[in-house]
Structure 1
Amino acid sequence: MGIFSSIWDRIRGHRKEQEPAAAPAPQPTVIATAAPAQTALPPVDVEAVLQSMAEIEGEAAAGNWRTSIVDLLKLLGLDSSLEARKQLAEELNVHAGPHGSAEQNIALSKAVWRKLAENGGLVPDSLRD
């Protein structure tokens, strides 16, 4: 499992549980076999989930997770080392500036936000651009 997958799993796993849906009415038995219908998960409000996590941690401890890839990884309880960020940069095909530079870290942060949006996360435009 890649680092981005870990990021997405932590965010999805932390969101507030949805209200349980009412049980569907029993359907008559169908003899023909068909592929089961896929149910799409509701979108995840990424910023709200992370804000909630930051409030639990305390804003000072959470740092500037909206713009700092290091602070975002720390908030999620993931490895924020240079080696981990190098791996994440390779996963997301981010090659802006030398590894560990401010230029690369900013580009990496924006790439993570964009990728979260591509995977069904609700991410404000201000974080993706």
Structure 2
Amino acid sequence: MGIFSSIMGKIFGHKPAAAPAAPAPQVMPPPGQPPAAVAVAPAPPPQVVDVAVVLDDLAAKAGQKLDWRHSIVDLMKLVGMESSLAERKELADELGYTGDKSDSASMNIWLHKQVIRKLSENGGKVPAELAD
């Protein structure tokens, strides 16, 4: 599993306290009808994950100020991942960065934009001010 997949899994798998999960619908057969003859309701469409709600919830519990909206380092820390330069260079390779990786400031800005974009492309709802 790649670094981006790990970031996405941690964000998409987090359930903020403010959003309780809906119980699964129960399908019961009518009296006298065998269970196999009952039609199963189609699965609901996948839920869109509100990235800001998840990350703001994690930030509120972090115990330190992490600016995930502007910093790839803080975003990675917030989801419990290693944010070292080596990890960020690996993420840059994974996402196709072609710039100079020794210019970590430029690379970090690019990484943050790409991670936000990829989260959006994979079903995440991202704040308009962060979307390109």
Alignment partner, residue 50 of structure 1? 55
Are residue 28 (structure 1) and residue 34 (structure 2) matched? Answer: no
Q: Distance in 1 between matches of 2:2 and 2:43?
A: 25
Alignment partner of 1:123 is 2:132: no
Q: Give the alignment's TM-score, normalised by structure 2.
A: 0.80
Unaligned runs of 5+ in 2: 30-35
TM-score w.r.t. the length of structure 1 is 0.82
Percentage of matched positions with identical amino acids: 47
For 1:97-116, what per-residue CA distance to the aligned partner results, in whole angstroms no more than 9, with x for missing partners? 43452111001000000000
Query: Which amino acid is 2:55 matched to?
Result: L
Whole-angstrom CA distance in 1 between matches of 2:24 and 2:38:
22
Cα gap change, 1:62/1:5 in structure 2, threshold over 3 Å: closer, same or farther?
Answer: farther
Structure 2 residue 67 is the aligned partner of structure 1 residue 64: yes
In the alignment, structure 1 residue 86 sits paired with structure 2 residue 89: yes
Asked whether 1:114 is paired with 2:112, we answer: no
| Runs (4+) off by over 3 Å | 24-27, 37-40
Rounded to whole Å, the distance in 2 between the matches of 1:5 and 1:106 is 19
- Tell me what 1:34 maps to: none
Max radius of gyration: which structure? 2
- Asked if the contact 2:69–2:75 (Cα under 8 Å) also holds between the matched residues in 1, the reply is yes
Deviation at 1:25, TM superposition (A): 4.6
Task: For 2:51 and 2:68, locate their aligned partners in 1 and report how far apart those are by CA, in whole Å.
Answer: 12
Runs of 5+ unmatched residues, structure 1: 31-36
CA distance in 2 between partners of 1:50 and 1:117 (Å): 14
Structure 1 residues 21 and 29, CA, compared in 2 at 3 Å: closer, same or farther? closer
Code of the aligned partner of 2:81: L
Q: Which amino acid aligns with 1:105?
A: N
